[in-house]
Amino acid sequence: MDPTTYWEMWKSRGGSKKKNEETGKTVWQAPTLEESRTEVVRLMTIVDEVERLTETCDVPFGVFQVKVGEAKRILCRHATELATALVRGLVDQATSESRVLESEYSNMFEKVSVTPSSEAQLVEQRNFIRGLDMVLLSMYRRSKAATKSVELRRLVRMNLNEEEFFSLYHPKTWPNKIIDAKDLCAQELEKQKTAMIEVLERDVRKFEKHLDKLSEEADACKLLSDVDQLKLIVDRTDTLLGALEQARERGVDLNARLNAFGWDENPFVTLDVTENGFQQYGQMWTEFAEFRANRNEWLNESFLQLDGVQVREQVERTWVNSYKMAKRFAKDDPELAKVAQTLREETTSFKELVPIIEALGNKAMKERHWNTLAIETDCDIVSCWIFVGYFFFFSKNFLLQRKKERAKKKAKKQTKNSFSFLTSSKWSGQNVLTRYSLFFFPSSFSSFSSSPSSSPSSLSSSLSSSSSSSSSSLP
């Protein structure tokens, strides 16, 4: 048998058989050191017994004749090779295990020598130092078992080279060095613990003073109610909200440092009170600023780029929230209640434009619809520069006129007869815009249609002049 094959077979089947309780199957166990020793002794005993056989005669086997001396040499050599292969495998296995131990010892020594930079690392280092003795004992037993298996080499008269000897026996020098480093590290950790506790207590006191300043700033921001200073107020409240959010993260970090020493968490009551008390104020000013910014964008953006449904949802949400905020602040803070009421009035006014935005911003609007609208209004209309702001005058004047019409039945009846051709239309968007434009600005659209190259700015100025003249001529 080849020696290498013999060693592989010995590792897999050299031990005893054992029944697996989970599967119920019988499996081979890895051979123990004692079983390996027994196998080596058996092979070397064979060698000794064969060598004691006489060499004076040949032994006949039928037509064959075997020379005893030659057979002895073959049997002894083969048995010695198998025993040597087994011992060599054990030595290689022990050397590999010793190298693993060498790496583990080295990493352990480096970890013992680490200087912690935070409370969490300090606690982790202290726990590591406390459990180090048991880890060293386990590693020492592994090193001892490795060197013990190498002692079988004496049975086959095998010598170790310098590299193998170093790999096997150098790990035994690590435990004493690690223990000395551990004792020195424990002393340093106690000093660092005292220093870190002082720093932590100072940071907590400093953070509590910072929270008091944030609380004072929140009280000052609650007194702001000048809508004309909206941008400055929003910037100030946003800065405060950002500072509160950072303070929350800072509080979590401080509590983690307190937990590292096994102390109870600090609730930081001031932070909770400031956040809960100022949240509604910051929300109101932020929502006010967002609505005005969105309104400016909606009034100066092409209909084709607007989502009418989304605009309606945003306006409705702000409209409802402004009512809730006005009701919430009515008792405790009347000035802020007026600000919320101003927001509701602005959203209420803008809600009148939402149907126009939805109609003209409809995704079903095609170029032919814009052409039809241009023909009926007698105006050159290019869909890419139709802006909501141009129709703001339409809605205001139209609502004013409708209000006066309801007060005067006769005027309402005449108006209906005069513009009955506008009530029947193929699509609603055309109907809305046509009524607004033809009813209030017939002269403006007529003059504008005479210059096909007119721009949106010229239309805007024309509408503005017509709006003022129409407003002055209304009854």
Q: What is the rounded average pLDDT of the residues 84-94? A: 87
Q: Lowest mean pLDDT: which of 29-33, 44-48, 136-140, 449-453?
A: 449-453
Task: Tell me the C-alpha distance between 115 and 164, whole Å.
Answer: 35
Q: Is the pLDDT of residue 398 over 80?
A: no
List the Cα angle 273/278/282 in 5-degree steps. 155
In sequence order, the 6+-apart residues with CB closer than 8 A to the CB of 107 are none
Residue in 277, 288, 287 with CA at minimum distance from that of residue 244: 277
pLDDT at 382: 54
pLDDT at 201: 92
Amino acid identity of residue 10, one-letter, is W
Q: Is the pLDDT of residue 215 over 80?
A: yes
- Report residue 223 as tokens: 């007194």
Name the percent of the chain lying above pLDDT 90.
28
pLDDT at 159: 86
Q: Is the pLDDT of residue 395 over 50?
A: no
In sequence order, the 6+-apart residues with CB closer than 8 A to the CB of 463 are 390, 393, 441, 444
Name the percent of the chain lying above pLDDT 70.
71
Question: Does residue 65 sit in helix, strand or coil?
Answer: strand
Residue in 402, 437, 430, 395 with CA at minimum distance from that of residue 416: 402
Place of tokens 């802020």: 336
pLDDT at 469: 38
Backbone angle region of 62, left / alpha / beta, with phi > 0 → left and psi within -120 to 50 → alpha: left
Question: Does residue 178 sit in helix, strand or coil?
Answer: helix
Q: Alpha carbon of 146 to those of 96, 164, 168: distances in Å? A: 9, 12, 8
pLDDT at 357: 77
pLDDT tens per residue, range 223-279: 998 988 999 999 999 999 999 999 999 999 999 888 888 888 999 999 999 999 998
Q: Answer whether 222's CB lies under 8 Å from 85's CB.
A: no
Q: Which pTM does this prediction carry? A: 0.52
Q: What is the rounded average pLDDT of the residues 312-322? A: 92
Q: Lowest mean pLDDT: which of 92-101, 152-161, 315-324?
A: 152-161
Q: What is the rounded average pLDDT of the residues 140-148? A: 88
Contacts of 91-95 with CB under 8 Å at 24 or more apart are 91/149, 91/150, 91/153, 91/158, 91/160, 91/164, 93/149, 94/146, 94/147, 94/149, 94/150, 94/168, 95/146, 95/164, 95/167, 95/168
Count Cβ atoms below 10 Å from residue 190 Cβ, excluding itself. Answer: 10
pLDDT, averaged across the chain = 76
* Better pLDDT: 397 or 409: 409
Q: Lowest mean pLDDT: which of 110-114, 369-373, 380-384?
A: 380-384
Q: What is the rounded average pLDDT of the residues 153-168? A: 86
Task: Tell me the C-alpha distance between 345 and 319, whole Å.
Answer: 8
Q: Lowest mean pLDDT: which of 77-81, 134-138, 371-375, 410-414?
A: 410-414
pLDDT at 241: 92
pLDDT at 387: 52
